[in-house]
Amino acid sequence: MGILKRCPYPESTLMGKFLNQVAKYRDKTFIIAKFKDGRIGGDYRHISWLEVFNDSAGCARFLLKQGVEKGDRVALFADNSPWWIATMQGILSAGCVVVPIYPTLVEDEVAFILEDSGAKGMFVGSAGQYRVAKSVLGDVPGVGWAVVFDPDVDLRDPNWWRFGEVVKTGDEGLDGEIASRIEATKDGDIATILYTSGTTGRPKGVPLTHANFLYQQVLMDEYDADESDVWLNHLPLCHSYGLVADLFAAVDRGGILGMCPTIGTKDVREALATIRPTVLVTVPRLFEKMYHQITSALESQPERRRRLFYKAVSVSKEYHERRRAGEGIPLGLKLKWMFYEWLVFRRVRERIGLERIKFAASGGGPISKDLVLFFEALGIPVYQGYGLTETSPIINANTPKHNKPGSVGRPLPGTEERIADDGEILVRGPGVFGGYWNNPEATREVFTDDGFFMTGDIGHFDEDGYLYITDRKKEIIVTAGGKNIAPTPIETRLMTDPFIEQACVVGEGRKFIAALIVPAFETLREWAKSKGLDYGDDAELVKLPEVLELYQQRIDEFNKTVARFEQVKKFALLSKPFSIEGGELTPTQKFKRRVIDVKYRDIIESFYGEGE
């Protein structure tokens, strides 16, 4: 407890902020998670601020005993858990730099990050991650020790420890040194090196300082978040978006962090039903799935109820549009909205676990404006933002007072942005990193002469200063006819179809664009059942002529709404979804297009026969 006796610490560092909150809230619940003694699973448990601190202090004592020095890098290769959070705080408290590693990376990727970062040691989560780490540690010079969370792993190497044991046996006599290191840490010191998942090429290390991260918290006042709020974390903490918008935001406000075991649909539904969050930070895909869940459930309802629901949505959209614009709301419209709020919307929110929701945030990729307006009508305000790992990550955001659905909002205070001649978004400000780790050449390539970071995204500002993103500069498809096509807006619109789970547009250098489509299998199976179709598995289902005809009809309807050169001329139905584990998606669900191009080359080539 000697560490806490030195409170308050300067709040210019991540651990200073955390420790001051521990001293303030102590036995109050900080985390709700399915976690006990190093095992993820079981029932949801409440874990106090003091419990997390005790584990973080034990971790810091262990690190000092291993001889770590200020600025040493320590890797963290594990799934989200209370111990992940405690370990991060422990590493920072020891004056070291956290190097998070995405938990599903394979041997060569883990080895690259360990070697490139110069990690002195590492913390490992599950038995699977232990096997990956153990297989590479012998080939990575400098990593002298490792600690595993999973208590059931059979440890026989003297250089491996169990987390549950080391945090309980540390020397409290080291607390004075730990407190001194915390006090000596400056806001400009590196807190983490995050390796970009990268939609292309090898990952690059992005060093981010305490100041970079803490700058983002200016948003919390805009959203009126406080200690009564409950976040639902299901995004990976090894990614800047989940780290800042979930963990650091909850710490900043003294709120509760509910932790979902995975990003899987089943786990998220259970977490929503159990935790009942007031704040939901997520990626567009979750909203698309919720939309499909709601609209699919409506299909089984009598026509009278369906008409009532969509009438209610229409009235609510008009109400919220007037309210957003600051216009007067006619009494008749207000009374209708109040009626539908009582009769329809509160019940929908309760059914999906969002009856307490204060606000939701969408990032990591574009979200359809229609989806934002749909959820706003349900009483679930969704605010879209924008940023990159290199910008810590948030640089733009819509807020309750300044919100234009379809945009990613205005720049954060203190952030400068401009549009280059070719449409690329350039940014300079407190959240922008200083350069890539051990990669000066890559750093030179992404900064202008006057210090603006080149985001690689194409966009424009409207007359009120709201930013609109078109697509990634490197992902723009140039057809054989010279047309520039942004694939993401097309994909986003396709994925609002209740029968489409994922859609990846292809067509670089070709006469037309085509799409790889993953069906929304729950919806498709229900449809096939209603038609009496016979099939063995999903691979057989997507080949049925009736199914192909269904999707052709839906693509034809989509094509009526876009320009001729943006029409999807051909498509293929895939029997398995794109995934992070399969290598096709980044942690924030963006497509790794180069991987997809190679993995599905035969299917893509089949779209473009002789003469195309």
pLDDT confidence of 483, banded at 50, 70, 90? confident
Give the pLDDT of residue 295. Answer: 87
User: Given pLDDT bands bounded at 50, 70 and 90, which one contains residue 99?
Assistant: very high
Mean pLDDT for 138-150 is 93
Dist. CA 539–CA 588, nearest whole Å: 27
Average pLDDT on 437-466 reads: 96
- Give 276's pLDDT tier (boundaries 50, 70, 90): very high
Secondary structure letter of residue 168 according to DSSP: T
pLDDT tens string 227-260: 999 999 999 999 999 999 999 999 999 999 999 9
Confidence at residue 487, expressed as pLDDT on a 0 to 100 scale: 93
> How much of the chain exceeds pLDDT 90, in percent?
82
Mean pLDDT over each residue of the chain, to the nearest integer = 94
Q: Work out the average pLDDT over 435-459.
A: 96
- 3 state SS of 183: helix
Distance of alpha carbon 318 from alpha carbon 608, whole angstroms: 45
> How far is the C-alpha of 151 from the C-alpha of 83, rounded, in Å?
12
Residues 298-339: tens digit of each pLDDT: 888 899 999 999 999 999 999 999 999 999 999 999 999 999
Q: Which of 197-201, 393-397, 478-482 tops mean pLDDT? A: 393-397
The answer to whether residue 611 scores a pLDDT higher than 60 is: no
- Residue 198 is predicted with a pLDDT of 54
321: which residues sit within 8 A by CB, 6+ positions away?
Answer: none
Task: Please state, as a whole number, how many other Cβ atoms lie within 10 Å of the Cβ of residue 24.
Answer: 13
pLDDT band at 605 (very low <50, low <70, confident <90, very high): very high
Task: Please tell me the predicted confidence (pLDDT) of residue 86.
Answer: 98
Domain covering 476-607 assigned CATH 3.30.300.30 in the classification: yes
Which comes out higher in pLDDT, residue 356 or 594? 356
Q: Range with the lowest mean pLDDT among 170-179, 373-382, 419-428?
A: 170-179
pLDDT for the residue numbered 590: 84
| pLDDT of residue 197 exceeding 80 | no
Q: What's residue 134's pLDDT?
A: 93
Please tell me the predicted confidence (pLDDT) of residue 610: 55
Strand 568-573 relative to strand 424-428, pairing:
unpaired
- Phi, psi dihedrals of residue 338, rounded to the nearest 5°: -60, -40
**Mean pLDDT calculated for residue range 370-394:** 97
Pairing status of strand 568-573 against strand 230-233: unpaired
Give pLDDT, residue 470.
Answer: 86
* pLDDT reading at 199 higher than 60: no
Q: Where are the domains of the chain?
A: 476-607
Beta carbons within 10 angstroms of residue 234's beta carbon? 24
First-last CA distance in the chain: 71
Residue type, 417: E
How many Cβ atoms sit within 10 Å of the Cβ of residue 147?
26
Band (pLDDT 50/70/90 cuts) for residue 110 is very high
Q: Give per-residue pLDDT as tens, 37-61.
A: 999 999 999 999 999 999 999 999 9
Residue 275 confidence (pLDDT) above 90: yes
Percent of the chain, pLDDT > 70?
A: 99
Query: Residue 612 — very low, low, confident or very high, per pLDDT cuts 50/70/90?
Result: low
DSSP state of 36: E
Q: What is the pLDDT of residue 600?
A: 95
Between 480 and 161, the more confident residue is: 161
Confidence (pLDDT) at 23: 97
The mean pLDDT value for 88-93 works out to: 98
Amino acid, res. 500: I
Q: Name the 3-class secondary structure at 42.
A: strand
What pLDDT does residue 1 have? 62
Rounded Cα distance between 384 and 394, Å, is 11
17 — pLDDT class (breaks 50, 70, 90): very high
Instruction: Give CA 566 to chain center in angstroms.
Output: 28
**Gap between the Cα atoms of 401 and 222, Å rounded:** 8
pTM of the model: 0.89
Strand partners, 161: 147
pLDDT at 76: 98
